[in-house]
């Protein structure tokens, strides 16, 4: 077992070491472990190893809770079905008052935490009180009070009506933990959840281990042990899968998808998810504040070429920010954005940007020179960024592409230094898109992963008015489509393609299914065929 873990860590992290001395040392240790492995066998094969690019940086739900819900160690009051519908979780039922301010949640009974204590209203009130005092997908001022009504009933009072509130309670930030998880200040010192797996070892930022929980209230996990290993590079993760050191690897790069699809011992799962690859724009930038420039940059993009040649997903090109799954926000019947270099050049001419001697456009003595940052967690992004750089140069825009950590994007949004960023935005981080729209599209402040310095008072007021409407009505659907059209026309962000999640899976794994809302690895329902 140790040898397998060693190989996984070696492959996942070898490329992080720049020093030749470090690499030589690692190679020596690898050779020694390989020698030892000749006489080693796995004593317990009933474990599954999962690898992805996400770092396990903390036990705190607001920082890395998504990993613990994905590993099914921590659960939320409500869950999400693959079709986006909200269903019971730790709360078996819920309802709200006629004015939309009071929400009552009836808790499951006989639910045990991993330390053996019973979940009750007090423990839920504690968890939610801590959660909503920290960064969450909604404004903390939304919460008026969180109180116990009886041992199995919790009542949450809002300061104003907020129809998507149940969707907020599916987010990992609101995960329910045992009281013993917290210190006196409310910081998480031990992750004691209710899921089918319990945390057995936490080795930040590279590894999380769990074992099945015998007292789980629902169907027990079939696979006894689950291990998550951070693999920083997509090539490393695919090698782990091919070498048998991982059973499931997420976020494959396009080259690995092509190679692994020919391996009979593996299969590649391709699932459309409510993410859009798009370019975040700082509209305080003088160049990008001009709608004609934004229109020109959008028209210069070869979306079809990117979808087919880079993503290997023909038909995934995006003509608007919201993917087809995000009804009713996706505008039906909207024409595709066809690449048109002639029209893009005309728009730049009209905006006063004329081509200089080197082909780069100039206005008032300044070149059309922009900086585009992206990050490695989504391996296709740097390839797309390089393609955009070349495509924009064809119309006279010079763009520098810089690879950063993902944290550089919210940091650049906060300090105003960001110009453009290529991102893969999840519009269903809270399953009801209204929550994300209210967070990112309802004010000039925008959002870390949303618009930046975009000012459209009509959209802002319409969106806030819609937040008080009952969803699911024809009027709501019509208003949503109109609002999305207005956002599309104003181009606060440039859509590139809709996202297809590529996951490599060993053939020994049975029952794999990718969660399009990225809340769970669904390991508890899987089993091995050997």
> Cβ(351)–Cβ(362) under 8 Å?
no
483 and 513 together in one domain: no
Ranges of the chain with pLDDT below 70: 1-44, 530
The pLDDT tens digits for 431-481 are 888 888 988 999 999 999 999 999 999 999 999 888 888 777 899 999 999
In a domain, 132, yes or no: yes
Would you call 192 helix, strand, or coil by DSSP?
Answer: coil
Would you state the pLDDT for residue 145? 98
* Residue that the structure tokens 């935490």 belong to: 113
The pairing of strands 369-375 and 420-426 is parallel
Would you state the pLDDT for residue 140? 80
The residues that bridge with 407 in the sheet, in sequence order, are none
219 and 295 together in one domain: no
Distance CA 506, CA 266 (A): 5
CATH number of the domain within which 37 lies: 3.40.190.10
Distance CA 521, CA 6 (A): 23
Residues near 32 by Cβ (< 8 Å), separated by ≥ 6? none
Would you state the pLDDT for residue 431? 85
DSSP character string of 313-337 = -TT-B-SSSS-TTSTTTS-TTPPP-
Q: Where are the beta strands (DSSP E) in 67-203?
A: 78-80, 86-88, 91-96, 102-107, 143-150, 153-158, 197-203
35 and 98 together in one domain: no
226 and 363 together in one domain: no
42 and 27 together in one domain: yes
> Cβ(414)–Cβ(121) under 8 Å?
no
Would you state the pLDDT for residue 430? 84
Q: Where are the beta strands (DSSP E) in 376-492?
A: 398-404, 420-426
In a domain, 148, yes or no: yes
In a domain, 255, yes or no: no
* Residue that the structure tokens 């693999």 belong to: 231
Would you state the pLDDT for residue 357? 83
In a domain, 321, yes or no: yes
Would you state the pLDDT for residue 376? 86
Distance CA 269, CA 258 (A): 12
Helix axes 234-242, 2-13, angle to 10 degrees: 150
> Cβ(126)–Cβ(112) under 8 Å?
no
In a domain, 252, yes or no: no
306 and 417 together in one domain: yes
408 and 491 together in one domain: yes
The closest of 229, 234, 225, 200 to 5, measured between CA atoms, is: 229
Burial of 237 (0-12, 13-18, 19+ CB in 10 A): buried
426 and 442 together in one domain: yes
Residues near 39 by Cβ (< 8 Å), separated by ≥ 6? none
- Please give the structure tokens belonging to residue 202: 């936490």
The closest of 179, 197, 200 to 188, measured between CA atoms, is: 179
Give me the domain span that covers residue 376.
Answer: 272-500
Number of folded domains that form the chain: 3
9 and 90 together in one domain: no
End-to-end CA distance of the chain: 17
The pLDDT tens digits for 331-356 are 999 999 999 999 999 999 999 999 99
In a domain, 257, yes or no: no
In a domain, 40, yes or no: yes
Q: 496-524 as b/e, with b when 16 or more CB fall inside 10 Å?
A: bbbbbbbbbbbeebeebebbbbbbbbebb
281 and 408 together in one domain: yes
The pLDDT tens digits for 54-89 are 999 999 999 999 999 999 999 999 999 988 889 999
Distance CA 275, CA 16 (A): 28
Domain end, chosen from 135, 154, 181, is at 181
Would you state the pLDDT for residue 147? 98
Name the pTM for this structure.
Answer: 0.83
Using CA atoms, how far residue 99 sits from 159, 161, 426, in Å, is 11, 7, 30
12 and 160 together in one domain: no
Helix axes 20-37, 2-13, angle to 10 degrees: 150
Distance CA 135, CA 449 (A): 15
Distance CA 229, CA 9 (A): 7
- Please give the structure tokens belonging to residue 8: 């996984």
288 and 433 together in one domain: yes
The pairing of strands 225-230 and 143-150 is unpaired
In a domain, 37, yes or no: yes
């Amino acid at each position: 077992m140790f040898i397998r873990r060693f190989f996984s860590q070696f492959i996942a992290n070898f490329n992080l070491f720049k020093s030749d001395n470090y690499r030589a040392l690692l190679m020596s240790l690898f050779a020694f472990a390989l020698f030892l492995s000749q006489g080693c066998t796995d004593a317990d094969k009933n474990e599954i190893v999962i690898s992805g690019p996400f770092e396990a940086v903390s036990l705190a739900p607001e920082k890395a809770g998504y990993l613990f819900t994905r590993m099914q160690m921590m659960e939320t009051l409500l869950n999400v079905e693959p079709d986006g519908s909200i269903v019971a979780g730790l709360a078996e039922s819920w309802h709200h008052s006629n004015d939309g301010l009071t929400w009552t949640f009836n808790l499951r009974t006989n639910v045990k935490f991993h330390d053996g204590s019973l979940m009750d209203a007090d423990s839920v009130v504690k968890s939610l009180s801590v959660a909503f005092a920290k960064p969450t997908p909604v404004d903390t001022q939304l919460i008026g009070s969180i109180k116990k009504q009886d041992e199995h009933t919790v009542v949450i009072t809002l300061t104003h009506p907020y129809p998507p509130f149940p969707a907020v309670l599916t987010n990992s930030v609101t995960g329910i933990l045992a009281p013993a998880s917290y210190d006196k200040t409310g910081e998480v010192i031990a992750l004691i959840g209710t899921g089918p797996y319990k945390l057995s070892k936490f080795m930040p930022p590279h590894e999380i281990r769990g074992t099945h929980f015998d007292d789980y209230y629902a169907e027990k996990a079939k696979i006894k042990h689950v291990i998550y290993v951070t693999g920083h590079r997509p090539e490393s993760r695919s090698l782990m899968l091919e070498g048998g050191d991982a059973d499931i690897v997420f976020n494959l790069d396009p080259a690995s998808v092509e190679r692994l699809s020919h391996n009979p011992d593996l299969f590649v799962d391709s699932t459309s998810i409510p993410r859009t690859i798009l370019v975040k724009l700082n509209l305080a930038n003088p160049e990008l504040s001009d709608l004609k420039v934004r229109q020109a940059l959008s028209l210069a993009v070869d979306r079809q070429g990117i979808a087919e040649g880079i993503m290997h997903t023909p038909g995934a090109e995006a003509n608007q920010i919201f993917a087809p799954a995000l009804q009713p926000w996706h505008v039906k019947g909207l024409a595709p954005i066809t690449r048109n270099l002639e029209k893009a050049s005309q728009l730049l001419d009209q905006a006063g940007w004329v081509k200089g001697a080197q082909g780069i456009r100039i206005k008032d003595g300044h070149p059309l020179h922009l900086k585009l940052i992206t990050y490695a967690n989504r391996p296709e992004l740097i390839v797309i960024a390089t393609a955009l750089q070349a495509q924009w140069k064809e119309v006279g825009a010079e763009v520098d592409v810089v690879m950063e950590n993902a944290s550089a994007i919210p940091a650049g949004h906060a300090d105003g230094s960001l110009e453009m960023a290529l991102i893969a935005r999840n519009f269903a981080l809270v399953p009801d898109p209204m929550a994300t729209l209210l967070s990112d599209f309802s004010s000039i402040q925008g959002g870390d992963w949303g618009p930046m310095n975009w000012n459209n008072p009509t959209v802002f007021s319409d969106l806030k008015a819609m937040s008080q409407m009952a969803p699911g009505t024809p009027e709501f659907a019509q208003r949503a489509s109109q609002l999305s059209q207005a956002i599309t026309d104003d181009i606060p962000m440039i859509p590139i393609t809709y996202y297809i999640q590529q996951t490599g899976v060993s053939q020994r794994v049975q029952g794999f299914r990718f969660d399009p809302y990225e809340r769970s690895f669904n390991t508890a329902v899987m089993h091995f065929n050997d």
